[in-house]
Amino acid sequence: AKQEKLSGIEVFDPELDKKLLENIQMEKKISSGIKNNEFFLLYQPKIDASTEQPVGCEALVRWQTPQGSIFPDQFIPIAEESKQIIPLGTKIMHLAGEQIAKWREQHFTPGHVAINVSAVQLLHGDVYGDYQDVVERYNLSPGEIQIEITESTTLQQLELITPMLTQLRDAGATIAIDDFGTGYSSLSYLKELPVTHLKLDRSFVKDLPESDALAIAKAISGLGHALNLIIIAEGVETKEQASYLKSLGYDQFQGYLYAKPLQPEQYSDFLNRISQN
Ligand code: C2E
Ligand code: CA
Ligand code: CA
Ligand code: CA
């Protein structure tokens, strides 16, 4: 039990203790989950705003344990803290590459597959090495993989990871800043980053057409286009949101209005269906 002596008073926080223990257990569980192939990916389509044709997807990790499924919001933060995100991230990159190769064998073209990569991976792992391994192993073409990094990455971290992002970019990956509008990246810094896409955070889409959300969505569109970036809106749930975003110049949409994250076979069915229309 964690005990501290504060001016002679014994402080004991059972809640803190419980949390610590749970995190340690979760960390072990993640490690064995990787070995036992309990992680898999779902693929959520991304749609071109003007043609309404699919352009690719975002890969979202899922965890099926023997005791039931656990959602990423519950384990990604612990995986990041414990650095288990590094082996897990390597696994995720391989799963995506393997799936792209499977689709190719079925003569199905999935468009780009965006993979979420956290700052911890970029700072302490070898994302570039993983990317190269996967490209080589599954014979991927430039542009087939997009890397999404969350904007909660601090400016200092961004500075440190810029060389690796540049390597990835030079090797043909496109790079998106995820959850844009919620984090710290200053406008001047954005210009220096080897970024190709901006993803407006879901929270602003949700609040459309409220005036604040509208102003932010508009400002981000203007900024993105001034820097020649492709701008994506995530969490699009209604036709009304889509039409506001379209009028603001958003290039790509993703959200339940089109499809939720899908199993690989559902994803190819979805694309084949929508492409025939
Ligand atoms: P994110 O990258 O911002 O992903 C978008 C989340 O919004 C996903 O939740 C997705 O299922 C959900 N979503 C998509 N469309 C809609 C919609 O129209 N409405 C609503 N309400 N939600 C929608 P999910 O899959 O639970 O993932 C949560 C977060 O966990 C992700 O947020 C990302 O930060 C993290 N994550 C997921 N997969 C990975 C991964 O493979 N690696 C890493 N490092 N993080 C991941
Ligand atoms: Ca994402
Ligand atoms: Ca996001
Ligand atoms: Ca998010």
Stronger pLDDT, 103 or 190, i.e. the higher one: 103
Q: Determine how β-strand 54-65 pairs with β-strand 39-48.
A: antiparallel
152 and 182 in contact (C-beta within 8 Å)?
Answer: yes
Which residue's CA is the closest to the ligand 1 atom numbered 45? 116
Q: What is the pLDDT of residues 36-67, one digit of tens each?
A: 999 999 999 999 999 999 999 999 999 999 99
Q: What is the pLDDT of residues 82-137, one digit of tens each?
A: 999 999 999 999 999 999 999 999 999 999 999 999 999 999 999 999 999 999 99
Which residue's CA is the closest to the ligand 1 atom numbered 11? 261
Q: How close is the Cα of 135 to the center of ligand 4, in Å?
A: 26
Q: What is the pLDDT of residues 217-236, one digit of tens each?
A: 999 999 999 999 999 999 99
Q: Which helix (H) or strand (E) holds 165?
A: helix 155-170
> pLDDT at position 2, please?
43
> pLDDT at position 169, please?
97
CA-wise closest residue to 116 among 82, 77, 155: 77
**What's this model's pTM, rounded to 2 decimal places?**
0.93
Q: What is the mean pLDDT of residues 238-243?
A: 98
> HEC string of 144-158?
CEEEEEECCCCHHHH
The label of the residue with tokens 């991976």 reads 121
Q: Which helix (H) or strand (E) holds 73?
A: helix 72-81
Record the tokens describing residue 29, joined without a space.
């569980």
Q: What is the pLDDT of residues 157-168, one digit of tens each?
A: 888 899 999 999
Q: Is 235 in the pocket of ligand 1 (CB under 6 A)?
A: yes
**Using 50, 70 and 90 to split pLDDT, how confident is the model at 1?**
very low
Record the tokens describing residue 211, joined without a space.
């005036």
Q: Is 185 in the pocket of ligand 1 (CB under 6 A)?
A: no
Q: Is 209 in the pocket of ligand 1 (CB under 6 A)?
A: no
Closest ligand, as measured to the CA of 256: 1
Which residue's CA is the closest to the ligand 1 atom numbered 17? 235
> pLDDT at position 8, please?
57
Record the tokens describing residue 234, joined without a space.
């995530």
Atom of ligand 1 nearest to the CA of 201: 3
Q: Beta-strand (E) ranges in 25-173?
A: 39-48, 54-65, 68-70, 112-117, 145-150
Report whether pLDDT(265) > 60: yes
Q: Is 44 in the pocket of ligand 1 (CB under 6 A)?
A: yes
> pLDDT at position 165, please?
95
Q: Is 261 in the pocket of ligand 1 (CB under 6 A)?
A: yes
Atom of ligand 1 nearest to the CA of 236: 18
